A and B are shown apart, each in its own frame.
Chain A
């Protein structure tokens, strides 16, 4: 079998892509088939009531811990603190309706725009590196010639188990010339080491921490979907004389495209919400401001500046932007990755 370039195995072997779609569509059909039988036992009330009773815990928890805080945040974002005179003692301040004021202030704040710009740059550096490395490691681990695959897989995954704050502290030590073994070695060799905490490189330094922590997780996601690919495709390809590299590029990657899209989405959302790494590194350097990323600005406004109202407005903006970008991204890649004909 020869694989024409550009049109990968999707048409010849619709294994992963179409089964997935069928798999999604299957349960309702099953249920409709089963329900006539169920209708025989129990009254009309139990028939309607039971599903809701079973859903109730989830609905209540969702309402109490997701919906209610979101609605309250929305409410707060249209409020503000109004102070009178010196603002001392009773009646010095009150909460009043602010209209769109908090939103206007967020969009009008050059620091907010700058933090968004930084995060996009950060994402441009991080997401391709993260997915590229995760995919590379997953393909290498999946290759039949790999030795000590189990150990390697765990070793690559391990950093994901380290909390971001801890890993940032560890990397922070490595980035500080006076206490870092790297700088010590460079110094002994007489080389000039780059100052990672300087304003030019700090973005890469933070991306490196996120990369170190995140590659393992994404690698596992991709690797798992590689393992789900039926082996007979590979056998067929081998019989046709395809090399391992050809198989990787023309069979494996197209088949696991949905998981790559999913990890890309995860990475993008994580990028927009980057917080722990720069916040932990901030006390070590002059190059990170208190509003270096949008989420840091939210934190500063809410907990340092006691202004929960503008923090709420900024949170809403970040949430909406995250949704919008996620949907836009899925819209663009969906047809290609999932092979839908819509």
Chain B
């Protein structure tokens, strides 16, 4: 009885909290300034919004802090299903857009003149907010082009340099592991679907696409097969690890030098300074190893957008604000400096970011490398069931990484394709094969 009472009390408090958040959103009458609510989780974003509020007394924006990408989206989907309680704007990761559009949560911004902003962003980023169609569902906020981070001191001591192609990366992996069997150039992480998606994106993969009125699924095609075959080979050879990233073991490896490199994204300095504090000043960033050195490309691992929800009563004002937030030089500078993200607006970002992060103070041209890499992000379209594909990645590639055979990696791609396409079909999507 005591326990029942306690849990019901907690539930009642939770319900009350839900009701209050439901009431606070979407208010703002005809008199006085327009009030917009904005769900976001980027650190210190409210300070950036404060600049806008001072300059625009007629449109006041309130940031409602969220725990992170996944919980914010779950909350938004619940509010959409309930018919009220959604904010005017939300920070949404690129891979969530199709899912949100599928639940009719995002307003089409093409009516508000969002098309004019296309040139501000890279083709790859823009493709992801349009899903390759005519509608524009969000404005890119930050982007996370992938790069190769490595321990410059260890490579120097071996007389080796950063690889420019994947072939050189494999050679380097062998050389590092041969010189010291305790050291690995990297690990294949079956836990990080976003990481593998970025690698596939770099290889020109198109996992989802829209063909007329039907979805296409292209996981099990040449680009992704090539990537899986490559990593399966290295794991089978034993020169690349097969254990997941973000484990205590991996963290320790970054700090003690047994992990010599990390294929990551522009936000890596933050993670490295937290997980490998003893190695400050020893790392360097380079563009990704390439499949074709003449046509440099990269993928993204992370990044987010700002979208307007279908429950917003002021989509025009909301559009005005998110245009400012993501393209105005002052706002972009603040995003970079205050929130610490890499803004998607390319030119403004390049101007705003000049000094290398403290952890990379040894590499003064850090942001020059980033700007050069950011331009080369390949286009990529996320489909409506990214979640299913990602959990299929976790399961299938975990099996493959455990088996440590190249054949298992190739089989994992086939299984991922099958699970993704079966899910689309069983939900009733029109799928073209």
Given contacts A81-B427, A93-B102, contact A65 B248 (CB under 8 A): no
A179 at the interface (CB under 8 A from B): yes
A176-B252 Cα distance, complex, nearest whole Å:
11
Whether the pair A178, B253 counts as a contact (CB closer than 8 A) is: yes
A179-B247 Cα distance, complex, nearest whole Å:
10
Whether the pair B429, A86 counts as a contact (CB closer than 8 A) is: yes
B430 at the interface (CB under 8 A from A): yes
Output the least CB separation between A163 and chain B (Å).
16
Whether the pair B244, A88 counts as a contact (CB closer than 8 A) is: no
Given contacts A86-B213, A87-B429, A93-B102, contact A300 B391 (CB under 8 A): yes
B394 at the interface (CB under 8 A from A): yes
Residues of B with C-beta under 8 A to A61:
4-5, 8
Q: Write the residues of chain A forming the contact surface with B, with a CB cutoff of 8 angstroms.
A: 58, 61-62, 64-65, 81-93, 105, 172-173, 176-179, 199, 283-291, 300, 303-306
Output the least CB separation between B117 and chain A (Å).
21
Given contacts A87-B102, A303-B74, contact A286 B190 (CB under 8 A): yes
9 interchain pairs (CB within 8 A)? A58-B4, A62-B4, A65-B8, A85-B213, A89-B135, A93-B427, A288-B398, A300-B391, A306-B387
Whether the pair B131, A88 counts as a contact (CB closer than 8 A) is: yes
Name which residue of chain A comes closest to B99, CB basis. Answer: A306
Given contacts A61-B8, A92-B102, contact A290 B395 (CB under 8 A): yes
Whether the pair A305, B391 counts as a contact (CB closer than 8 A) is: yes
Residues of A with C-beta under 8 A to B148:
none
By DSSP majority rule, is chain A's interface helix, strand, loop, or mixed? loop
Whether the pair B252, A178 counts as a contact (CB closer than 8 A) is: yes
A89-B242 Cα distance, complex, nearest whole Å:
41
Output the least CB separation between B310 and chain A (Å).
8
Whether the pair A283, B248 counts as a contact (CB closer than 8 A) is: no
Residues of A with C-beta under 8 A to B39:
none
Given A88-B98, A178-B252, A283-B244, 11 extra CB contacts under 8 A: A62-B4, A82-B428, A83-B428, A90-B104, A93-B427, A284-B247, A286-B244, A287-B402, A291-B395, A300-B391, A306-B387
Q: Which 6 A-B pairs have the closest CB atoms?
A: A83-B428, A286-B398, A286-B402, A178-B249, A176-B249, A289-B395
Whether the pair B104, A179 counts as a contact (CB closer than 8 A) is: no
A90-B4 Cα distance, complex, nearest whole Å:
41
Name which residue of chain B comes closest to A198, CB basis. Answer: B402
Output the least CB separation between B11 and chain A (Å).
6
A194-B411 Cα distance, complex, nearest whole Å:
28
Whether the pair B74, A284 counts as a contact (CB closer than 8 A) is: no
Of the candidates B77, B213, B428, the one whose C-beta lies within 8 Å of that of A306 is: B77
Size of the B side of the interface (Cβ < 8 Å), in residues, is 52
Output the least CB separation between A338 and chain B (Å).
25
A34-B353 Cα distance, complex, nearest whole Å:
84
A58-B102 Cα distance, complex, nearest whole Å:
41
Whether the pair A305, B388 counts as a contact (CB closer than 8 A) is: yes
B296 at the interface (CB under 8 A from A): no
Whether the pair A283, B402 counts as a contact (CB closer than 8 A) is: no
Output the least CB separation between A203 and chain B (Å).
14
Residue among B4, B11, B249, B390 with the highest chain A CB neighbour number at 10 A: B249
Of the candidates A58, A65, A285, the one whose C-beta lies within 8 Å of that of B7 is: A65
| B397-423 to A contact mask, C-beta < 8 Å, 1/0 | 011011000000000000000000001
Residues of A with C-beta under 8 A to B53:
none
Of the candidates A172, A286, A289, the one whose C-beta lies within 8 Å of that of B248 is: A172
A88-B101 Cα distance, complex, nearest whole Å:
5
Name which residue of chain A comes closest to B101, CB basis. Answer: A88
Given contacts A199-B402, A286-B242, A289-B398, contact A83 B248 (CB under 8 A): no
Name which residue of chain A comes closest to B77, CB basis. Answer: A306
A105-B427 Cα distance, complex, nearest whole Å:
13
Whether the pair A92, B244 counts as a contact (CB closer than 8 A) is: no
A303-B77 Cα distance, complex, nearest whole Å:
12
Residues of B with C-beta under 8 A to A65:
4, 7-8, 11
B13 at the interface (CB under 8 A from A): no
Output the least CB separation between B414 and chain A (Å).
16
Whether the pair A286, B8 counts as a contact (CB closer than 8 A) is: no
Name which residue of chain A comes closest to B104, CB basis. Answer: A90
Name which residue of chain B comes closest to A292, CB basis. Answer: B395
Residues of A with C-beta under 8 A to B98:
88
Residues of B with C-beta under 8 A to A199:
402
Whether the pair B429, A83 counts as a contact (CB closer than 8 A) is: yes
Given contacts A61-B4, A172-B248, A283-B191, contact A83 B427 (CB under 8 A): yes
A84-B103 Cα distance, complex, nearest whole Å:
12
Whether the pair A83, B391 counts as a contact (CB closer than 8 A) is: no
Output the least CB separation between B89 and chain A (Å).
18
Output the least CB separation between A69 and chain B (Å).
10
Whether the pair B191, A83 counts as a contact (CB closer than 8 A) is: no
Whether the pair A283, B247 counts as a contact (CB closer than 8 A) is: yes
Whether the pair B248, A179 counts as a contact (CB closer than 8 A) is: yes
Name which residue of chain B comes closest to A89, CB basis. Answer: B104
Output the least CB separation between A87 and chain B (Å).
5
A173-B135 Cα distance, complex, nearest whole Å:
48
Residues of A with C-beta under 8 A to B101:
88-89, 92
Residues of B with C-beta under 8 A to A287:
398, 402
Name which residue of chain B comes closest to A199, CB basis. Answer: B402
Residues of A with C-beta under 8 A to B428:
81-84, 87, 93
B379 at the interface (CB under 8 A from A): no
Name which residue of chain B comes closest to A101, CB basis. Answer: B426
Residue among A83, A176, A284 with the highest chain B CB neighbour number at 10 A: A83
B198 at the interface (CB under 8 A from A): no
Output the least CB separation between A229 and chain B (Å).
28
Output the least CB separation between B212 and chain A (Å).
9
A242-B355 Cα distance, complex, nearest whole Å:
84
The A-contacting residues of B in range 1-38, CB under 8 angstroms, are 1, 4-5, 7-8, 11
B243 at the interface (CB under 8 A from A): yes
| B213-224 to A contact mask, C-beta < 8 Å, 1/0 | 111000000000
